Amino acid sequence: MESPNDRELEGLKDWTPVEKTIFSRRSTRAFKKKPLPDFMLRRILEAGRFAPSAGNSQPWRFAVVKSPEILAEMEKDAIKMTKIMMFFLDYTRSRFRNIFLKPLIKLIIRLMHNELHPVPYGLMNAIAEGRAPVFHDAPALILLFEDCRGVSSPPMDTGICGQNMVLAAHSMGAATCWIGLIKLLMFDPKWKKFFKVKYPYRLNVCIAVGWPKVDSDGPVEREVQLVEWYDGGMADGPRIERQGE
């Protein structure tokens, strides 16, 4: 295939529709009650199904949860699980805990750094105290089950697949929010059984999807990246460019 000529490249001065979607997408945490029509959900799923994966192994399986009864039960149990976890992990709750349990709890937090990083830890505290919901009252959730038999890195493939869905949804004017905290339900055998999560599948993430209640789309602050450009010779060091300024 031929590379585009100069005149065709001129056309890239403006953002493409894909770039516009990437830069305007924001996580939405307030949804209208009415779910997206099924044909839109199917198109979103189709964008995920079409995602690239190592060895084209497609290490995923999807489920759509729209039933208000099931969504309410998931929310209730995720809050219950958060309360149980925070009962053990919140070392600020009493003087006794602060003196005797803090080192042990800090060690657990350190060992589970990904799960108990200060951001999810803070969010879980807010959920346990009834200050935040888990699934943001979304009218639908798309569950991404990861098949651990996939080639190379199934979590990466599943992330790419989910981001395809998220971008497709936003390109149609819908709103999404990734919900990693769905993992909380996986501590409860009831939900593992309900969603048939057993080897080789894992459930680490889902995507809340619906119509936005408020317009939260717009650019959001990101760190400036110091990017190394190796565009000299072998003897030259990289040129550092500040990406995002």
Ligand X SMILES: Cc1cc2nc3c(=O)[nH]c(=O)nc-3n(C[C@H](O)[C@H](O)[C@H](O)COP(=O)(O)O)c2cc1C
> Distance between CA 220 and CA 197 in Å, rounded?
35
User: Can you read off the two tokens belonging to residue 207?
Assistant: 């995507």
Letter string b/e over residues 39-63, b meaning 16 or more CB atoms within 10 A of that residue's CB? ebbebbbebbeebebeeeebbbbbe
Q: Which of 220, 226, 227, 240 binds ligand X (CB under 6 A)?
A: 220
Sign of CA dihedral 163, 168, 173, 174: negative
Nearer to ligand X, 7 or 131 (CB): 131
Stretch that binds ligand X, among 1-9, 64-72, 79-87, 174-182 (CB under 6 A): 174-182
Verify binding: residue 178, ligand X, rule CB under 6 A. yes
Nearer to ligand X, 72 or 99 (CB): 72
> How many alpha carbons fall within 13 Å on the CB side of residue 77?
18
Q: Which of 175, 177, 207, 209 binds ligand X (CB under 6 A)?
A: 177
| Contact between residue 91 and residue 106 where contact means Cβ atoms under 8 Å apart | yes
Secondary structure percentages of the chain, helix, strand, coil, to 5: 50, 15, 35
Verify binding: residue 205, ligand X, rule CB under 6 A. yes
Verify binding: residue 27, ligand X, rule CB under 6 A. yes
Q: How many residues of this chain interact with ligand X, rule: CB under 6 A?
A: 10
Verify binding: residue 144, ligand X, rule CB under 6 A. no
Q: Which of 26, 43, 66, 83 binds ligand X (CB under 6 A)?
A: 26
| Count of Cβ atoms closer than 10 Å to residue 219 Cβ | 9
Nearer to ligand X, 90 or 217 (CB): 217
| Contact between residue 145 and residue 87 where contact means Cβ atoms under 8 Å apart | no
User: Can you read off the two tokens belonging to residue 132?
Assistant: 């935040």
Stretch that binds ligand X, among 64-72, 149-157, 178-186, 227-235 (CB under 6 A): 178-186
> Distance between CA 44 and CA 173 in Å, rounded?
12
Q: Mask 92-121, x = binds ligand X (CB under 6 A)?
A: ------------------------------
Nearer to ligand X, 182 or 197 (CB): 182
Verify binding: residue 169, ligand X, rule CB under 6 A. no
Q: Which helix (H) or strand (E) holds 179?
A: strand 175-179
Nearer to ligand X, 141 or 181 (CB): 181
User: Can you read off the two tokens belonging to residue 156?
Assistant: 């990466």
Stretch that binds ligand X, among 23-31, 40-48, 57-65, 102-110 (CB under 6 A): 23-31
Q: Where along the sequence are the contacts to ligand X (CB under 6 A)?
A: 26-27, 29, 177-181, 205, 220
